[in-house]
Amino acid sequence: MNIGRMLTITGAYLGFMIGTGVATGQEILQYYTANGWMIFGTAVVICIIFIVANYGFALAGKRMRVSKGRGAFVYYLGRHVGWGVELFVVLFCYLSYAVMVAGGAATLHQELGMPTYVGAGIVAALAGFSVALGLGKLVDIIGRITPLLLFCIVAMVLYHLLQHIDMLSANAALIESGEITMTRVGDNWWMAGLSNGGYSILMLAAFSAVLGSREDFKTLFCANVLSTLLLVGMNTLIGLSIMSRIGDLYNVQIPNLLIVGSIAPGLTTLFGVLIFVAVYTTACPLLWTAVQRFSADGTPQYRVLALVLAAVGFFFGLFVPYSTILNVVYGLNGYIGFLVMAVVTLRLIRDRFFPNVLPQFAFGYETEKELFAEEEVCQK
């Protein structure tokens, strides 16, 4: 196993999933902190979903040597359902790219007073040109940026948590009693975990499948596990840090900026830059998921489409409030993602333990020949 490549892919996975929701703290507030002490239960649910789903999609990519995310969905769900789900995922990822654009705009507006169209324009331009370079360059860029980003975020929120750790128990009780009305996803901790894990695997499905066809599988699997543990651990830490000052942060668009500002006012500008970088590292793979659906990586059509879709997402992200779009888009699609996850899990269990018990037509395709035939039909 190539350790260096494993760390690069780990960084790419983390860069993909950190994004604006995590870096700003808004996603953590709605999915993790809103559950009080059951934040740890939410973390376990998300961790399991991430590891199993990424393994399943990467395995489909490896077995079928897919060049597009469509192949993984057809493998698990069959021709008609697989194609339908894949089109839904492409739309969802593109809407999530718009969430990144809105997050970048909100960050620069809150921190620097910059007009929202400037922040949105910078995110769209950077993402468009980066995706136009192709998947290989994209993984290298994101994988090398993310470690420093991760270290800086963890260091700041950990310092803040240690400063206010004596307030954790009281604030957790305040949340669990319902005395604070918070925007949240899911009615309880495990539904929040299912939703968060569900929308996340929809984002990662095509990314993991194509990497599965290109990378050493052991290296990719280790990167999957390591990135999941690091991501969920960091999210839990941020969630606890927000909980330690929930009275000040529960209705703030970007709670992490206030956290950093309470440490040292001069750090807010630095953290604003870090959030913006996190927005960029997630916007790129989301935009790539939409672009690769309609054009082949590296072609002139691919590069033009990358720039066009980046520009369209800029306008969408401008006119919808960041917290609203995050709650609606992520929450709605999370449960659909979990249903896909359930089918993938059943297929993995069947293939491993009961290959001759369940009927083959209960799932997708069994052979490369069948899948490649569908790929040819789709291309025509």
Residues 74-90, mean pLDDT to the nearest whole number = 82
pLDDT in tens, 32-71: 999 999 999 999 999 999 999 999 999 988 888 776 777 8
Number of domains in the chain: 1
CA separation for the pair 56, 59 (Å, rounded): 5
Q: What average pLDDT does range 274-289 have in this prediction? A: 84
User: 104 is in which domain, residue-wise?
Assistant: 3-379
**Does the CA dihedral 112-117-118-123 come out positive or negative?**
positive
- Give me the amino acid identity at 10: T
- DSSP state letters, 105-159: HHHHHHHH---HHHHHHHHHHHHHHHHHT-HHHHHHHHHHHHHHHHHHHHHHHHH
Q: Over 80: is that where the pLDDT of 110 sits?
A: no
Tell me which of 161-165, 196-200, 375-379 is least confident. Answer: 375-379
Rounded-to-10 torsion of CA 82, 219, 353, 69: 0
| Cα–Cα dist 166/172, whole Å | 11
CATH number where 75 lies: 1.20.1740.10
| Burial degree of 129 (CB within 10 A; 0-12, 13-18, 19+) | middle
Are 338 and 46 in contact by the 8 Å Cβ rule? The answer is no
The answer to whether residue 303 scores a pLDDT higher than 80 is yes
How confident is the model over 102-128, as a mean pLDDT?
82
For the cut 50, the answer to whether the pLDDT of residue 340 exceeds it is yes
Query: Rounded to an integer, what distance in angstroms lies between the CA atom of residue 261 and that of residue 160?
Result: 10
| pLDDT digit string, tens, across residues 217-243 | 999 999 999 999 999 999 999 999 999
